[in-house]
Amino acid sequence: MNTPLVDTRGASRIRPISIAILAMGGEGGGVLADWIIDLAEHGGYLAQKTSVPGVAQRTGATVYYVELFPKAAAREQKPVLALMPVPGDVDIVLASEFMEAGRAISRGLVTPDRTTLITSTHRVYTMQERIALADDRTDSNAFLKASEEASKRLHAFDMLSIADATGSLVSAVLFGALAGSGALPFQRMAFEATIRRGGVGVEPSVRAFNAGFEAAASGNTPQVKAVLPFDPQARDASVQSLVAPIDDQLSIVSRPIVSAGVVRLTDYQNEDYAKLYLKRLEPVLAIEKSRPGKSDELLTEVARQLALAMAYEDTIRVAELKIRASRFERVREEAVVKKGQLLEIVEFMHPRTQEIAETMPAGLGRWLLRTKWARALVDSMTTKGRKVKTSSIHGFMLLYIVASLKPIRPRSLRWIDETKRQEEWLAKVLEIAPQDYPLAVEIAHCIGLVKGYGDTHERGREKYDTLMALLPKLRERGDAARELAGLRKAGMVDESGDALKKAVAAIQ
Amino acid sequence: MAERSFKEEVKQLKLGAGEEFKGEAILAVTKALLQSGVSYVSGYQGAPISHLIDVLNDANEMLQELGVRFESSANEAAAAASLAVSVNYPLRGACTFKAPVGTNVASDALANLSSGGVKGGALIIVGEDYGEGSSIMQERSHAFAMKSQMWLLDPRPNVQTIVDMVEKGFQLSEVSNTAVMLQLRIRACHVYGSFIAKDNKRSEFSRLDALQNPVRDVSRYALPPFTYQHEHEKIEQRWPAAVKFIKDNKINEFFDGEAKDIGIVMQGGMYNGVLRAMEIMGLADVYGNSRIPLYVLNATYPLVDDEFVEFCAGKKAIMVVEEGQPEFIEQAINTMLRRRDIQTRIEGKSVLPMAGEYTGSVLKAGLQKFCIAHRPDLLAPDEPPQTNKSLPAALETLGTNVQGRPPSFCTGCPERPIFSAMKLVQREVGPLHVSADIGCHTFASLQPFNIGQTTMGYGLGGAGASPLSGQGGKRPVAVVGDGGFWHNGLVSSVGHQVFNKTDGVMLIVDNGYAAATGGQDILSSAANVETRSTQHPIEKAVRGVGVEWVKHITRTYDVAKMRDTLREALTTDVKGPKVIIASSECMLNKQRRVKPLLRAAVKRGERVVRERFGVDPDTCTGDHSCIRLSGCPSLTIAPNPDPLRRDPVTKVINSCVGCGNCGEVAHAAILCPSFFRASIIDNPTRWDFFKQRIRDAVIGFFQRRLERKMVSA
């Protein structure tokens, strides 16, 4: 019984609509697939879906695959529907996150002759991006460009912010965008009816659906926000007068950094401290002046690093930042505290003898660190971390008293140590700049290795010291800037400094 | 309490003749078991058959009405052993587990079962976890069928065929006195479809009949000399009976096609994938009408020689689509045809890859090669793409930007602090040799923990560590989950180390469920489950087999205590195994249980405190050491709001459940003061409001003073 074939390759051939959903565990990808099935079955279609949940539901990425086939075309013979997407043969790809869209493209599920790609542009960072010692985020612009190039039609916008605003999940926004895209042969009403039949969290889902629909139907070209979180044009009026004398020597790049530095140090200590900052920058300005027409890369980096180094995070600074009214307000917003609800805030702090001694006047601090019995006594009181309830009067006042030590900070042990280090670093930069400008810029970068608190801070300093000790050797070998940059990157690879040790060994 | 409730699905199990069942294939299998009149079902959970176990657990009342006993087996060996009941009595029974790992565990019982053979139909439903997304080693169940002489069904992956094969499987088992394996690939298990139901059947012979009239037939024992007879029986009686049944009942399917000089043979499970590839290539239409004759093996073991001879008649070449390796079917066909001197060329692994999943593109490439070699005229020329966009250009733009997303611990997982603590201990005592096990805790082997050397199987962590018994001041560490502990670990790991006087540390991760397989209850579950006996403490069991040094930590989130206990276990003078039981409830299950209760309490106007954590962006320096010690999905990064800083800050997102691990880690590792806990109080009491007013007044006063100082500074 050889059934005559219908035209299997012609334009008239009937084919299933194939839909791949890329989502991460717990994102509602399964619900979205169920909605599509329900929508299709009520719209006169046969529907099949599969997935491989397994361990993927524990935060891994999952592909749900759905095929729809018109019942009217099924005749007495049922269609054979596939259980997994075939590259080049997918009509619609729904991605709950931007890298997942990238994954769909790299797996060949999105093809320019065929696929409507509907994706959110927000990012859920991978473990690799999150555990980096510095900044290892991927470039969302690459996802956007690839999405435009790989798809026939693209609907890309930030669905997470819509989901958050409507109190729903990305899956509901995706469902709305699917309806708004017009890629499926069903009316908007039918989509909404599906959500209502589901019966769980209907109202927020419908709100998110509507927002997603409008966004997709309006067809706005997507934009990925620039990574810069601040407006480089913004100027703080209070620092105008301080910056004014050197304002004409600053470029569009260095000006906001210097201004921010002045703001930071005024806030950190006082206006005099900010003036000291500007004074320290003067020789760098002079160097830049001697190279007219060139970028002021060195100035920008020194201005940035110096401000951060001078505003080091000691117990006084931390205490002050923790108890500010603006900070209480920020926590209130982040925790989404509504009317009629109360908020309590508990800080997880662990000052060690080291930090306590560093806050003391230098002589007393050194004595404490040196004197066995005193150190042991303070050690015994600081073995455990402290939970300080800043929203209570007791906890608040504790930190308020620490913050009140600010006027005596310039006499503290840490201040003296930090000032010495800053000046040594700056001297090195200034010494090298006239001979090897790129190397000076690189040295300016290196101080960035020192950050964090406690052990993290100490390890960072060790790395920095290692690099500085290597400087003479690097300069002998030539192209010291490039080599130092390589070593600095190696220092960013792991916490323990193993990668740096290897890189250093390779040089020696 | 399992991860998913199947109350709705249970209703479908009651459907009568003529009604339409809609749902996942694995649930349809459950219905098919009832339609086949099973008397008992047993199983051990694991993807992709966990849903079968869960739905039967939820359907207990209904099963009792039908006289069906459902057992949550201790492990796969226990599940397979339950089929012993079908050896002497005309009772139909089924067991289920994940393959091939479950089959490995069950193989002792399966070999015994296969030797003596069965009287009542015995079905072994194996969920094949093979291919992309699989969590286990890639092996074939086919080898088990061959070595023990069980029959293997591999039905076409549509719900109707799968259901039919359950019923036929029981019949096949009975006519050939052999247990039958029904193999279901992971996507097939989760495929959503429908079939027309039949009435459920109650077994005519009951379990009570068996108990009251025990049958003894020593010739069914797997004992010499009977085992020698069994081997002959397998070949002389059971095999021919099976082949005859498969032929007579048309278990395997033939589909004709115009290109009669070639053909394609495939495992039933491959059918939909092959047909889609053919449809794309113009070799078939969407209804399965193929231009090339097809022979679909819904029974892949034993093969039916006559059917092959018939199919190959007049064909110059056939293509065998057989996923996985070794290529048992292809080898068998070659032998079969050579013995009969049939010269049809066999293409199989010659056109398809030896290893790896047969995805759509792999199948397309294989079909292309086969057609080019034997019937190039069937291939239509490729249509030129009608677009000026370019996929290669898109791929180039993507570059290496797409990173993997390996699974990891969920938000708030109580296992995370255990491994944070272990990471901290390693800073003190140096790197440890950690013998891992199967379960959620296996994720510790990946970033950011990077803990664990290898894993040897479920409940075998302790046994895997034992040969390295303490020397030179160091001890091996073994991790076993509560699931693995009750599956096999009590004897194979704990008992083993006690008996061998192993100087090591065993960490038993007790989260109250077999969490990795979907949150099924186990012996030590805290929940009171009506149909099972739970709340048996692990500590009692461990002490019962002779461990002297046992520490029980009842709140794993106490990272410092966890670290100190680990250090003590690694350094104490006590000989023999040191066991730490780390107990905290699986957060996924806890949230599912607690969330609705809290929501209801808030609605009733009760005072409810909800906690979540946060990070102050102005004190966070963006070094992310907290993430490297935690890895919580709710602990992520965000652009730095500080114009002077470049590195992203750490941020706690709204999915935070307030487990407190990040704060505890910050404390234990002395990380940074940026973490805070925000307690949000719903329906505060008058006392709460009163306190708040005073606090606002005092704190507000000093905050304003601070502000003035800042301005005047």
Interface contact B356, partner A, CB < 8 A: no
**Per-residue confidence band for A3, with pLDDT thresholds at 50, 70 and 90:** very low
Number of compact structural domains in chain B: 4
Mutate to test the interface with A, among B160, B190, B646, B701 (most CBs of A within 10 A): B190
CA A456 – CA B500 distance, rounded (Å): 42
Could you tell me which chain B residue has the CA closest to the CA of A347? B676
CB B181 within 8 A of CB B150: yes
Roughly what angle, to the nearest 10 degrees, separates helices B328-339 and B305-312? 70
Closest-CA distance, B437 to chain A, in angstroms, reads 15
Roughly what angle, to the nearest 10 degrees, separates helices A413-432 and A437-446? 160
Among A130, A327, A344, beta carbon nearest to B679: A344
Q: Judge: B621–A313 Cβ closer than 8 Å, yes or no.
A: yes
Interface contact B153, partner A, CB < 8 A: no
Roughly what angle, to the nearest 10 degrees, separates helices B239-248 and B305-312? 50
Could you tell me which chain B residue has the CA closest to the CA of A307? B644
**Per-residue confidence band for A224, with pLDDT thresholds at 50, 70 and 90:** low
Q: Judge: B289–A336 Cβ closer than 8 Å, yes or no.
A: no
Quick check: A7 pLDDT over 80?
no
Is residue B209 in some structural domain?
yes
- Token pair 């044009």 is at which residue? A233
Is residue B410 in some structural domain?
no
Strand partners, B345: B317
Is residue B696 in some structural domain?
no
- Give residue B565's pLDDT: 98
Burial of A244 (0-12, 13-18, 19+ CB in 10 A): exposed
Chain B (368-427) residues lying within 8 Å, Cβ to Cβ, of chain A: 380, 385-387, 389-391, 393-395, 397-399, 401-410
- B210 & B312 share domain: no
Roughly what angle, to the nearest 10 degrees, separates helices A437-446 and A454-477? 160
Could you tell me which chain A residue has the CA closest to the CA of B668? A385
Chain A residues with CB-CB distance to B682 below 8 A: 340-341
Is residue B712 in some structural domain?
no
Three-state SS across B407-459? CCCCCCCCCHHHHHHHHHHHHHHCCCCEEECCCHHHHHHCCCCCCCCEECCCC
Quick check: A233 pLDDT over 60?
no
- Give residue B671's pLDDT: 86
The CA dihedral of B206, B212, B216, B220, to the nearest 10 degrees, is 20
Q: Judge: B673–A322 Cβ closer than 8 Å, yes or no.
A: yes
Q: Judge: B272–A82 Cβ closer than 8 Å, yes or no.
A: yes
Quick check: B347 pLDDT over 90?
yes
Chain A residues with CB-CB distance to B673 below 8 A: 318, 322, 347-350, 453
Quick check: A361 pLDDT over 50?
yes
CA B324 – CA B355 distance, rounded (Å): 5
- B165 & B286 share domain: no
- B571 & B585 share domain: yes
CA B616 – CA B621 distance, rounded (Å): 10
Chain A residues with CB-CB distance to B194 below 8 A: none
Average pLDDT of the segment spanning A341-364: 94
Q: Judge: A321–B193 Cβ closer than 8 Å, yes or no.
A: no
Among B359, B395, B448, beta carbon nearest to A131: B448
- Token pair 């109580």 is at which residue? B414
Residue B214 belongs to domain with CATH number: 3.40.50.970
Q: Which of B283, B282, B244, B281 is nearest to B262 (CA)?
A: B283
CB A304 within 8 A of CB B640: no
**Per-residue confidence band for B711, with pLDDT thresholds at 50, 70 and 90:** low
**Is A170 in a helix, a strand, or coil?**
helix
What's the mean per-residue pLDDT of chain B?
95
CA A90 – CA A151 distance, rounded (Å): 11
**Per-residue confidence band for A11, with pLDDT thresholds at 50, 70 and 90:** low
Is residue B304 in some structural domain?
yes
Closest-CA distance, A277 to chain B, in angstroms, reads 14
- Give residue A12's pLDDT: 65
Average pLDDT of the segment spanning A173-179: 98
Of B546, B562, B589, which closes a domain? Answer: B589
Kindly report the number of other CB atoms within 10 A of residue A428's CB atom.
18
CA B62 – CA B56 distance, rounded (Å): 9
Closest-CA distance, B206 to chain A, in angstroms, reads 37
Mind giving me the DSSP string for A335-393?
A: TTPPTT-EEEEEEEE---HHHHHHHSBHHHHHHHHH-HHHHHHHHHHSSS-EEEETTSH
Q: Helical H runs in A65-169?
A: 71-74, 98-106, 127-130, 140-150, 159-166
Q: Judge: B410–A456 Cβ closer than 8 Å, yes or no.
A: no
Of B223, B248, B273, which closes a domain? Answer: B248
Q: Judge: A106–B398 Cβ closer than 8 Å, yes or no.
A: yes
Domain that holds residue B55: 7-248
- B362 & B427 share domain: no
**Per-residue confidence band for A239, with pLDDT thresholds at 50, 70 and 90:** confident
Quick check: B133 pLDDT over 80?
no
Chain A residues with CB-CB distance to B668 below 8 A: 385
Residue B676 belongs to domain with CATH number: 3.30.70
Chain B (495-524) residues lying within 8 Å, Cβ to Cβ, of chain A: 516
Among A3, A139, A390, beta carbon nearest to B289: A3
Average pLDDT of the segment spanning A176-190: 97
Two structure tokens written together for A445: 């970068």
Is residue B594 in some structural domain?
no
CB A90 within 8 A of CB A20: yes
Q: Judge: A59–B405 Cβ closer than 8 Å, yes or no.
A: yes
Interface contact B28, partner A, CB < 8 A: no
Closest-CA distance, A436 to chain B, in angstroms, reads 25
Is residue B688 in some structural domain?
no
Mutate to test the interface with B, among A59, A122, A148, A336 (most CBs of B within 10 A): A59
Average pLDDT of the segment spanning A312-326: 96
A131-158 pLDDT, tens per residue? 999 899 999 999 999 999 999 999 999 9
Interface contact B697, partner A, CB < 8 A: no
Q: Judge: B405–A24 Cβ closer than 8 Å, yes or no.
A: yes
Q: Judge: A348–B636 Cβ closer than 8 Å, yes or no.
A: no
CB A205 within 8 A of CB A198: yes
What's the mean per-residue pLDDT of chain A?
90
Inter-chain contacts counted by CB atoms under 8 A, chains A and B: 394
Kindly report the number of other CB atoms within 10 A of residue B591's CB atom.
16
What lies within 8 Å, CB to CB, of A346 at 6+ separation is: A387, A388, A389, A390, A391, A395, B676, B677, B679
- B159 & B49 share domain: yes
Interface contact B648, partner A, CB < 8 A: yes
Task: Give CB contacts under 8 A, 24+ apart, made by B364-368.
Answer: B364/A86, B364/B277, B364/B280, B364/B281, B366/B319, B366/B321, B367/B274, B367/B277, B367/B278, B367/B281, B367/B283, B367/B319, B368/B281
**Is A195 in a helix, a strand, or coil?**
helix
Bigger pLDDT: B249 or B708?
B249
Apex CA A70: angle with CA A68 and CA A71, to 5°? 115
Q: Judge: A79–B286 Cβ closer than 8 Å, yes or no.
A: yes
Among A6, A330, A343, beta carbon nearest to B680: A343
Interface contact B645, partner A, CB < 8 A: yes
Among A139, A334, A342, beta carbon nearest to B614: A334
Q: Judge: B625–A495 Cβ closer than 8 Å, yes or no.
A: yes
Average pLDDT of the segment spanning B453-473: 96
- Give residue A508's pLDDT: 77
Interface contact B188, partner A, CB < 8 A: yes
Of B355, B378, B401, which closes a domain? Answer: B378
Instruction: Give the least confident one: A239-253, A254-268, B496-510, B590-604.
Output: A239-253
CA A119 – CA A222 distance, rounded (Å): 10
DSSP state of B82: G
The side-by-side arrangement of strands in the sheet containing B434-436 is: B454-455, B434-436, B477-481, B505-510, B578-583, B549-553
- Give residue B7's pLDDT: 83
Interface contact B431, partner A, CB < 8 A: no
B688-709 pLDDT, tens per residue? 999 999 999 999 999 999 988 7
Burial of B110 (0-12, 13-18, 19+ CB in 10 A): buried
CA A268 – CA A261 distance, rounded (Å): 10
- Token pair 């005229």 is at which residue? B377
Chain B residues with CB-CB distance to A138 below 8 A: 401, 403
CB A413 within 8 A of CB A312: no
- Can you give the residue ranges of every domain in chain A? 17-218, 228-311, 317-413, 430-508
Average pLDDT of the segment spanning B479-483: 97
Q: Judge: B286–A164 Cβ closer than 8 Å, yes or no.
A: no
- Give residue A291's pLDDT: 87
Chain A residues with CB-CB distance to B287 below 8 A: 6, 75, 77-80
The strand ranges marked E within B74-142 are 93-99, 122-128
Q: Please check whether the domain covering A17-218 is classified as CATH 3.40.920.10.
A: yes
Closest-CA distance, B209 to chain A, in angstroms, reads 40
Q: Which of A68, A73, A70, A118 is nearest to A93 (CA)?
A: A118
CA A258 – CA A310 distance, rounded (Å): 13
Among B273, B385, B698, beta carbon nearest to A82: B273
- Give residue B669's pLDDT: 87
Mutate to test the interface with B, among A334, A383, A493 (most CBs of B within 10 A): A334
Q: What are phi and psi of A140, to 5 degrees?
A: -65, -25
Chain A residues with CB-CB distance to B695 below 8 A: 391-393, 396
Q: Which of B358, B291, B360, B292 is nearest to B322 (CA)?
A: B358
Closest-CA distance, B165 to chain A, in angstroms, reads 18
Q: Judge: A60–B448 Cβ closer than 8 Å, yes or no.
A: no
Closest-CA distance, B453 to chain A, in angstroms, reads 20
CB A132 within 8 A of CB B403: no
Q: Judge: B394–A146 Cβ closer than 8 Å, yes or no.
A: yes
Bigger pLDDT: A200 or B292?
B292
**Per-residue confidence band for A213, with pLDDT thresholds at 50, 70 and 90:** very high
**How many helices and strands in chain A, by DSSP H and E?**
24, 8
- B143 & B281 share domain: no
DSSP state of B98: E
DSSP state of B201: -
